[in-house]
């Protein structure tokens, strides 16, 4: 799937540290604003314990996880919507992603300059939101003028767009992001052509230092409240610690995590949350050659899911054999599953469920 989440925030909040840790990168960023001028792209494996469980029952030569595309976008500053700090360029990069991971600094460190001079998540989030809202407002204002001209000629769709665009304009003028103001699916479709930044789903990441890992400090509590008010998710991680964990071998990592009392790295939680934020889910194929997690959009039907493997699979789709991981763990082998009648044959209208194990039959 070619969907990506963009990591945004003010300069020096820890975006690049988190991005490097997620992509197991070793690049070090300089301690000054705009150290990331062009967006960095990374492809991150999405941890999924179900793959290991499948492999326990179906030994294989190769295990391939699902992947998530991330974009590390340079820090926005006050005035970005007016072009400050290469603002137009950065805002353009945000338009290109499908969801937003908003990193908020929740730690003090005199050696890392805060662009606003102090730690204040409410203010920092407000700065970012304001710039994104102002950018969208400019887009919507221009679009209202355009569709009003078409509406005068009696174009029915243009007439509908005028009403929705004006509703969006009113919300943005009041400082309300589109994701909160426009929730009707039909209205959202009419706005899709504008690629509005504040329409994108958001995941908040409260970035703390090692002292903030065990309990929430006041800054983290503030971010959690803002997220809750938006019905958004908030994840707390220590970016610096996660970057160190990412550099370790698997054996060293297991020992370190055990010492910290972690079941898994915080970034594993973050990557799964970002995957879900993008509206993605996973189905599996399993066999002696390869056990693999495949990424699809929620709601994909069986032929579309087959097309993720190869377009020929979708074109010549006949049917799909489907079974669950739970049944596999109960019956242990595909032969036993089939004997017990636990492998279903699904047709073109079957909506794939997250976690399905599938085998496609096709003819081209």
- The per-residue pLDDT for range 82-101, each reduced to its tens digit, is 765 555 667 888 989 999 99
- Catalogue all structural domains in the chain, each as residue range(s) with its CATH number: 4-277 (3.40.50.300), 299-362 (3.10.20.30)
Do residues 90 and 78 make contact, with C-beta atoms less than 8 angstroms apart?
A: no
Q: Where do we find the tokens 């908030």?
A: 234
Do residues 119 and 106 make contact, with C-beta atoms less than 8 angstroms apart?
A: yes
Q: At what angle do helices 121-152 and 87-95 cross, to 10 degrees?
A: 70
The pLDDT of residue 35 is 41
Q: Return the structure tokens found at 343.
A: 């492998």
Q: Where do we find the tokens 């958004």?
A: 232
The pLDDT of residue 21 is 87
C-alpha to C-alpha distances, 102 to 13, 205, 239, 244, nearest whole angstrom: 10, 6, 13, 21
Do residues 268 and 246 make contact, with C-beta atoms less than 8 angstroms apart?
A: no
From the list 192, 70, 71, 78, the residue with the least C-alpha distance to 139 is 192
Q: Return the structure tokens found at 177.
A: 């992001």
Residue 275 CA to residue 161 CA, distance in Å, equals: 31
Which residue positions in the chain have pLDDT lower than 50?
25-37
Secondary structure of residue 259 in the 3-state scheme: helix
The pLDDT of residue 277 is 97
């Amino acid at each position: 799937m070619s969907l990506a989440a963009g990591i945004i925030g003010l300069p020096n909040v820890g975006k690049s540290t988190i991005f490097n840790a997620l992509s197991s990168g070793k690049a070090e960023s300089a301690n000054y604003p705009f150290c990331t001028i062009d967006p960095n792209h990374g492809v991150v494996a999405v941890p999924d314990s179900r793959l290991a469980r499948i492999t326990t029952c179906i030994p294989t030569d190769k295990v391939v996880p699902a992947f998530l595309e991330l974009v590390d976008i340079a820090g926005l500053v006050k005035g970005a919507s007016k072009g400050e700090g290469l603002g137009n360029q950065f805002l353009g990069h945000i338009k290109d992603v499908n969801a937003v991971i908003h990193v908020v600094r929740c730690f003090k460190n005199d050696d890392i300059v805060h662009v606003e001079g102090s730690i204040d998540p409410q203010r920092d989030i407000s700065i970012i939101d304001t710039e994104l809202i102002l950018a969208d407002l400019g887009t919507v204002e221009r679009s209202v003028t355009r569709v009003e001209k078409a509406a005068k000629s009696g174009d029915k769709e243009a007439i509908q767009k005028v009403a929705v665009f004006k509703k969006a304009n009113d919300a943005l003028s009041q400082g309300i992001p589109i994701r909160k103001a426009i929730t009707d699916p039909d209205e959202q479709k009419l706005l899709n052509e504008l690629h509005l930044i504040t329409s994108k789903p958001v995941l908040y990441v409260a970035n703390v230092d090692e002292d903030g890992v065990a309990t929430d400090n006041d800054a983290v509590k503030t971010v959690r409240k803002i997220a809750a008010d938006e019905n958004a998710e908030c994840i707390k991680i220590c970016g610096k610690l996660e970057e160190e964990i990412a550099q370790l071998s698997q054996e060293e990592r297991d020992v370190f995590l055990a010492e910290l009392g972690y079941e898994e790295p915080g970034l594993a939680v973050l990557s799964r949350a970002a995957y879900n934020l993008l509206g993605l889910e996973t189905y599996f194929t399993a066999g002696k050659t390869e056990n693999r997690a495949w990424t699809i959009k929620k709601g994909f039907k069986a032929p579309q899911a087959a097309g993720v493997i190869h377009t020929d699979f979708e074109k010549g789709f006949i049917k799909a054999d489907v079974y669950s991981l739970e049944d596999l763990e109960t019956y242990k082998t595909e032969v036993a599953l089939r004997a017990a009648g636990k492998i279903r044959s699904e047709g073109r209208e079957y909506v794939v469920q997250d976690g399905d194990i599938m085998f496609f039959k096709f003819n081209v």
